[in-house]
Each structure stands twice: as C-alpha cells, then as structure tokens.
Amino acid sequence: MCRRIYINRSFKELAESFSFAERGNVDDLGGRLPRYNGAPTEVYHIITQYAERQRDRPKPAIAIARWGFIPSWMDRPRRQQPVHARSEDIASNELFQDAYRSRRCLIPVSGFFEWMDISRTDKKQPYAIAMKDRSMFALAGIWEIWRHPAGIDIRSFAVVTCPANEMMATIHDRMPVVLRPEDYRRWLSADPDPGDLMKPFDDDAMTMWPIARRVLTVRKVGPEVINPVDLSANQVRSRITKFR
C-alpha cells in the first residue's frame, strides 16, 4: 500500500507550505521537484526535529532522506528495506520502536497513490488521493541514520500507516497516517508516544480519482501521471463516485 507519492510543487513552494521548518542548506534535490511518481528507494524532503543535534532549542528543519527504513543498529540493510511502519505495533516492533520514540518526521506531499483490486482479474486500478483543496499535507513518518561501512551516514525513513478511513476503505483496507497541521509540532516533539495521532484522517477533507496504469512504471514521471481517467466498469465506478 502507498508505495507511490507525488509532489506537484517546486521546492520553494514546498518550503513555503511548511514555513515553520528551517530550510537551511537543503536544495531541490537536483531539480527533482515537481515529482509526479515518487517511489521507494528514492530521496525526498522530510521535516525533522532532532533534539540530540539541537539540544538548546530544537527546531523543525527540512532534511533529505531515502525512502526505505534502515535501523542504526543493523549491521547491513535488508535486501528490501521496510517502507511502512504499522501504527498498531510501531511502539513494540524492534525495527521501529527507537525511532518512534525519538525520531519522528513529517513527509510533505501533494498526494499519494493506492491500488484497488478488480474482481475476476489479476489487474489493479490505481487511484490518486489528495486534499479536496489540493493543498500540500504531511504524512507521519519515522527516520533513522545508518552508518555505511565506508563511513557515510545514510538518513532513511518509513511512512506510518493505519486502518483506512471510509473513503479509502472503498479501495484498500489501510492508508498512510495523515497529520493535521495543528498536530505537526506534537508529532515532532519529545513526546515518546503520541499514539492518539495515528488514526484515519477525515475523509470529508480528502478526494480521490482513478488514474492510468502508467503510474506502475517508475520511468513515467510527467504530470500526466495524475490525470483522471474514465472507468468503463460501472461496478468499480459506483463504489467511489461520492468521494470525487
């Protein structure tokens, strides 16, 4: 679930949308924004508040991290790093529990993608999910720094997931944890267990629409990826009409 995201803004616009976070020396990732088909293993902007590094007055700051979580204590990364952390067991899972307690982050996005199983076929129909007003928003995440044997520090992150809201439940049983702006600072705070924030987001504020299967190909990166398509299968269309 949610193995693709999109950001249809420039880095300047992203930074303005999350103006409470310091930009520092972070750039636009070599012109990778806007990005319409972002996948795991790629590098993204996240927002952290690292108290160990800023002991006097920790402040939110934009950082760069790779999507695919690597715990700092691991000798070497798994062949496939986890890209999601389930909210139900994040506090007890040895892979995620340390980061959850002290290294949480925001993942700025314009939207994400999900796939719906189509009955009697082996194909899945992709959907784009965003805010109704098309504003940027933040997914809840955790992050970590793993030191490569060559002495290189690699910052990585995972997206926290929870059960689906009513809208998302029409296509999938889970969704990313979407945070309200008023909860950003608490998610980034020293609170060791903000578990009440990991819940389905209000579906009245969200929208979704079917898109072409080209999103499955990572090389397809243009804005046409998020263009809506007309579904011919009435039984599929009827399930999601109310949320468009």
Number of domains in the chain: 1
Of the listed ranges 83-97, 152-166, 206-220, the least confidently predicted one is: 206-220
Give the closest residue to 201 by CA, choosing from 237, 235, 160. 160
Q: Per residue in 41-77, pLDDT tens?
A: 999 999 999 655 545 567 899 999 999 999 999 887 7
Task: Please report, for the domain that includes residue 168, its CATH number.
Answer: 3.90.1680.10
The residue type of 88 is E
Whether residue 115 has pLDDT greater than 50: yes
Q: What is the arithmetic mean of pLDDT over 171-191?
A: 97
Q: What is the arithmetic mean of pLDDT over 191-209?
A: 97
In a domain, 86, yes or no: yes
Whether residue 3 has pLDDT greater than 70: yes
The separation between the first and the last C-alpha atoms of the chain, rounded to the nearest angstrom, is 20
Give pLDDT, residue 53: 52
Give pLDDT, residue 57: 65
In a domain, 123, yes or no: no
Domain that holds residue 69: 5-112+136-202
Q: Name the residue with higher pLDDT: 51 or 9.
A: 9
Confidence of residue 235 (pLDDT cuts 50, 70, 90): very low
Give pLDDT, residue 234: 46
Give the closest residue to 58 by CA, choosing from 31, 26, 20, 14. 20
3-state per-residue secondary structure call for the chain: CCCCEEECCCHHHHHHHCCCCECCCCCCCCCCCCEEEECCCCEEEEEECCCCCCCCCCCCEEEEEEECCCCCCCCCCCCCCCCEEECCCCCCCCCCHHHHHHCEEEEEECEEEEEEECCCCCCEEEEEEEECCCCCEEEEEEEEEEECCCCCEEEEEEEEEEECCCCHHHCCCEEECEECHHHHHHHHCCCCCCHHHCCCCCHHHEEEEEECHHHHCCCCCCHHHHCECCCCCHHHHHHHHHHC
In a domain, 72, yes or no: yes
In a domain, 46, yes or no: yes
Of the listed ranges 23-37, 44-58, 70-84, 142-156, the least confidently predicted one is: 44-58
Give pLDDT, residue 176: 98
In a domain, 212, yes or no: no
Taking the C-alpha atoms of residue 134 and residue 111, their distance in angstroms, rounded to an integer, is 8
> Biggest alpha carbon distance in the chain?
59
Confidence of residue 118 (pLDDT cuts 50, 70, 90): confident
In a domain, 239, yes or no: no
Whether residue 241 has pLDDT greater than 90: no
In a domain, 214, yes or no: no
Task: Judge contact between 132 and 205, C-beta under 8 A.
Answer: yes
Of the listed ranges 115-129, 143-157, 173-187, 199-213, the least confidently predicted one is: 115-129
Q: Per residue in 71-96, pLDDT tens?
A: 999 887 777 899 999 999 999 999 99
In a domain, 31, yes or no: yes
Taking the C-alpha atoms of residue 239 and residue 167, their distance in angstroms, rounded to an integer, is 9
State the average pLDDT for the chain.
90
- pTM beyond 0.85, yes or no: yes
